[in-house]
């Protein structure tokens, strides 16, 4: 039998290896630091006043009791914490300080806040006005009032965040809330974990609270549990979509007073595929049940 040329064998082996490598899945993108930063946040407080990517390169602490640790004051700003922490716990239990806040101008757009921990502020991340914003990969921990808040901002996304240990702001009637969205249409709140917090004064505790003119908002794939309130009003998802309706899909709710609570006059919101465990009142009146809720 005629032997194959070593060159042919080598070429065949090389081609086979290339083919096999091509069939392997691509490696996952590394969750490391952003290497291309327009600006570095070296001190707090800090204001992002021009478009660009602003990065942390180390953990930062502050004892401020008012104002914002980081203020966004321009369109098209990325705040990338690069896996680091902004720690405001030394501001104490009565602090009025916010962690990261984008509040300027009714037409501001394209704020991105991502990839790190914001700890010990009255509000961890706050965005007011404008639209097309994104909050992702944030761990909002030990916020006294709200973990993540987005007000009067539409077409925005809050995804893949962790909100823990919220509560401690001792003002009667103040609602302790993991994620709060008010007067923002067509927002998406998806794949967030909200757990382990207590309203310390006689007020309600909300995992997700969507209220006002919030039509078209989608609340999907979130996991909410272990919330308590002295009034017993620990609510997984509160949806006040009486005017336009929201969609509540495939959420997991556990160890709460109430699972999903609608405005009683809400005849537009729809909910399906939600699961409750250890919830006294799983689904309160309002909204339209379109199936597979238990």
pLDDT in tens, 116-154: 999 999 999 999 999 999 999 999 999 999 999 999 999
User: What is the rounded average pLDDT for all residues in the chain?
Assistant: 86
CB 62 within 8 A of CB 45: yes
pLDDT of 14 higher than 60:
no
pTM exceeds cut of 0.85:
yes
Q: 148 and 161 in contact (C-beta within 8 Å)?
A: yes
Residue 48 scores a pLDDT above 90: yes
289 — pLDDT class (breaks 50, 70, 90): very high
* Separation CA 12–CA 6 (nearest Å): 10
pLDDT above 50 for 2 = no
In a domain, 26, yes or no: no
State yes or no: pLDDT of 26 exceeds 70: no
Assign 104 a pLDDT band (cuts: 50, 70, 90).
low
In a domain, 23, yes or no: no
The encoded tokens of residue 269 equal: 């919101």
Alpha carbon distance 291, 294 (integer Å):
9
For residue 110, is it within any domain?
yes
- Residue 182 domain-assigned (yes or no): yes
The number of folded domains in the chain is 1
DSSP state, 90? G
9 falls in which pLDDT band (50, 70, 90)?
very low
What pLDDT band is residue 204 in, cutting at 50, 70 and 90?
Answer: confident
Query: Could you tell me if residue 67 is inside a domain?
Result: yes
- For residue 100, what are the domain limits? 37-289
For residue 17, tell me if it sits in a domain.
no
Task: Answer yes or no: is 280 within a domain.
Answer: yes
The pLDDT tens digits for 148-160 are: 999 999 999 999 9
Q: Is residue 50 part of a domain?
A: yes
Confidence of residue 28 (pLDDT cuts 50, 70, 90): very low
């Amino acid at each position: 039998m005629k032997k194959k040329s070593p060159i042919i064998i080598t070429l065949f082996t090389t081609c086979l290896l290339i083919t096999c490598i091509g069939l392997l899945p691509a490696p996952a993108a590394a969750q490391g630091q952003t290497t291309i930063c327009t600006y570095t946040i070296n001190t707090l407080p800090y204001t992002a006043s021009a478009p660009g990517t602003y990065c942390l390169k180390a953990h930062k602490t502050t004892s401020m009791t008012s104002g914002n640790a980081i203020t966004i004051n321009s369109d098209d700003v990325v705040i990338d914490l690069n896996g680091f922490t902004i720690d405001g716990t030394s501001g104490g239990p009565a602090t009025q300080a916010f962690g990261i806040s984008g509040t300027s101008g009714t037409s501001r757009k394209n704020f991105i806040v991502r990839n790190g921990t914001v700890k010990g502020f009255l509000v961890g991340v706050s965005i007011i006005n404008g639209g097309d914003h994104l909050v992702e990969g944030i761990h909002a921990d030990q916020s006294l009032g709200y973990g993540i808040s987005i007000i009067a901002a539409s077409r925005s996304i809050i995804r893949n965040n962790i909100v823990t240990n919220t509560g401690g702001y001792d003002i009667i009637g103040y609602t302790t809330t993991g994620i709060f969205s008010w007067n923002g249409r067509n927002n998406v709140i998806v794949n967030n974990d909200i757990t382990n917090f207590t309203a310390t004064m006689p007020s309600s505790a909300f995992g997700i609270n969507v209220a006002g003119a919030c039509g078209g908002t989608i609340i999907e794939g979130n996991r909410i549990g272990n919330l308590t309130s002295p009034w017993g009003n620990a609510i997984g998802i509160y949806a006040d979509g009486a005017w336009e309706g929201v969609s509540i899909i495939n959420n997991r709710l556990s160890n709460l007073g109430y699972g999903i609570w609608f405005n009683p006059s809400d005849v537009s919101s729809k909910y399906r595929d939600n699961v409750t465990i250890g919830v006294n009142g799983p689904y309160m009146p309002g909204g339209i049940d379109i199936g597979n809720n238990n």
